[in-house]
């Protein structure tokens, strides 16, 4: 069989008009999470037609895809779990450390030539320590979402002397009951416990947001949640911007309700510019959605996306097919 491959030549989301020209007749299409108009174009465009068998997204997240629309049409969806777990966990740890230790703020100070005005001083630039210490012997890490990436992040925190792990999990897909005991034994933790959002907010030294996006998880971190967090706590979001209410977070940071925030994702990205209230907050470190951005990981994602596409086109097993029935 001959496969005709049509490739958008730019390293950015494709133009809508280009897509509308190319899609008719396609059996499969690879999309990025930045292709937000893709779902609409594909389902509304009749010419996308009966040939379409598979959509393969080069991402672990899939909230940019209209799952019920494609499921109704019998189109399969491929995605890229696992291959990016380590890269995103690395970045989550990096953000927790960067925020706690004022990494971004103090680097700018040096860049701006201001170090001479701020020589070393006993309590200069002090922030909350992530590692356990005689002063703070217990360290509680909180996770909103406790899937692969959250657990890989926990693993990286163990050498820092973390003692407690608490997590919030979607009530409709809880982890297996034996998980808590297994992780306690594996990592020598004092406790691993599934909790509600209130307890998570109150007890965590760092809250890592690592759950899927979409309506179900929208603004799980809101003014109420932030108001219950410790004053010294750090919020890290490396999943989807929609989980955190940006306005409430900016207010909380401005009023010193929490210590700081590290965000790889922000609601409304990439339209996040210098006048955004979060960008103006010195204790908010914002990165432009680079969680999976290592060459190794992006190659892994691209390869998996291609394999998913081919599997779907040839009606063979796809290495990572999303089970649409359980999600629609
Ligand atoms: C990145 O955010 C992804 O979903 O792969
Ligand atoms: C989410 O997809 C995760 O792997 O935690």
From first to last of the 328 residues of the chain, give the pLDDT tens digit.
778 898 988 888 788 788 777 777 788 989 888 877 665 556 555 556 678 899 999 999 998 888 888 888 889 999 999 999 999 999 999 999 999 999 999 999 999 999 999 999 999 999 999 999 999 999 999 999 999 999 999 999 999 999 999 999 998 888 999 999 999 999 999 999 999 999 999 999 999 999 999 999 999 999 999 999 999 999 999 999 999 999 999 999 999 999 999 999 999 999 999 999 999 999 999 999 999 999 999 999 999 999 999 999 999 999 999 999 887 6
Cα 149 to ligand 1 centre (Å): 11
Q: Which atom of ligand 2 is nearest to the CA of 61?
A: 2
Burial class of residue 187 (count of CB atoms within 10 Å of its CB; 0-12, 13-18, 19+): middle
What pLDDT score does 12 carry?
81
Answer yes or no: is the C-beta of 214 below 6 A from any ligand 1 atom.
no
Cα 86 to ligand 2 centre (Å): 11
Answer yes or no: is the C-beta of 238 below 6 A from any ligand 1 atom.
no
Cα 119 to ligand 1 centre (Å): 41
Closest CA to 29 of 99, 67, 77, 68: 77
In tens, the pLDDT along 23-75 reads 777 889 898 888 776 655 565 555 566 788 999 999 999 988 888 888 888 89
What pLDDT score does 313 carry?
95
Cα 8 from Cα 259, distance rounded (Å): 43
Q: Is the peptide bond prior to 270 cis by the omega test (within 30 degrees of 0)?
A: yes
Cα 147 to ligand 2 centre (Å): 5
In eight-state DSSP terms, residue 15 is P
ipTM for the predicted complex comes to 0.70
Cα 269 from Cα 260, distance rounded (Å): 20
Per-position b or e across 256-287, b if 16+ CB within 10 A of its CB:
ebbbbbbbbbbbebeebeeebebeebebbbbb
Cβ(283)–Cβ(260) below 8 Å: yes
Cα 234 from Cα 205, distance rounded (Å): 7
Closest CA to 154 of 197, 196, 190, 183: 183
Q: Which atom of ligand 2 is nearest to the CA of 60?
A: 2
In the chain, the domains with their CATH numbers are 16-83+294-326 (3.40.50.720), 85-286 (3.40.50.720)
Cα 59 to ligand 1 centre (Å): 4
What pLDDT score does 162 carry?
97
Closest CA to 36 of 239, 276, 271: 271
Q: pTM (2 decimals)?
A: 0.94
Answer yes or no: is the C-beta of 313 below 6 A from any ligand 1 atom.
no
Q: Which atom of ligand 2 is nearest to the CA of 239?
A: 1
What pLDDT score does 70 carry?
84
- The residue whose two tokens read 């999943």 is 239
Answer yes or no: is the C-beta of 291 below 6 A from any ligand 2 atom.
no
Pairing status of strand 206-209 against strand 234-237: parallel
Locate 256 and state its tokens.
């010193």
Answer yes or no: is the C-beta of 149 below 6 A from any ligand 2 atom.
yes
Cα 99 from Cα 82, distance rounded (Å): 26
Q: Which atom of ligand 2 is nearest to the CA of 151?
A: 5
- Where in the sequence numbering do the catalytic residues fall? 289
- Find all residues with CB under 8 Å of 289, minimum gap 6, and list them: 264, 265, 269, 270
Q: Which ligand is nearest to the CA of 292?
A: 1
């Amino acid at each position: 069989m001959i496969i005709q491959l049509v490739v958008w030549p730019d390293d950015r989301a494709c133009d809508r008009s280009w897509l509308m020209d190319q899609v008719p007749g396609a059996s499969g299409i690879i999309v990025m999470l930045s292709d937000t108009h893709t779902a609409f174009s594909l389902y509304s465009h009749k010419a996308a037609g009966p040939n379409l068998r598979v959509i393969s997204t080069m991402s672990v997240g899939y909230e940019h895809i209209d799952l019920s629309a494609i499921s109704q049409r019998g189109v399969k969806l491929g995605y890229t779990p696992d291959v990016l777990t380590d890269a995103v966990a690395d970045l989550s740890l990096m953000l927790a450390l960067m925020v706690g230790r004022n990494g971004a703020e103090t680097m700018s100070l040096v860049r701006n030539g201001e170090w001479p005005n701020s020589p070393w001083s006993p309590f200069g630039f002090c922030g909350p320590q992530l590692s356990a210490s005689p002063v703070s012997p217990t360290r509680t890490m909180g996770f909103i979402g406790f899937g692969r990436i959250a657990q890989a992040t926990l693993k990286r925190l163990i050498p820092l002397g973390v003692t407690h792990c608490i997590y919030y999990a979607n009530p409709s897909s809880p982890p297996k009951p034996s998980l808590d005991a297994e992780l306690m034994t594996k990592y020598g933790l004092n406790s691993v416990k599934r909790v509600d959002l209130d307890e998570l907010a109150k007890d965590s030294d760092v809250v890592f947001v690592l759950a899927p996006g979409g309506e179900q998880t929208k603004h799980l971190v809101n003014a109420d949640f932030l108001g219950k967090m410790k004053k010294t706590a750090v919020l890290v979001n490396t999943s989807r911007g929609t989980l955190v209410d940006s306005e409430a977070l900016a207010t909380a940071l401005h009023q010193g309700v929490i210590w700081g925030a590290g965000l790889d994702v922000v609601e409304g990205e990439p339209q996040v510019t210098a006048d955004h209230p979060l960008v103006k907050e010195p204790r908010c470190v914002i990165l432009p959605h680079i969680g999976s951005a290592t060459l190794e990981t992006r190659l892994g994602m691209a390869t998996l996306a291609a394999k998913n596409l081919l599997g779907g086109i040839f009606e063979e097993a796809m290495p990572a097919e999303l089970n649409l029935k359980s999600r629609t």
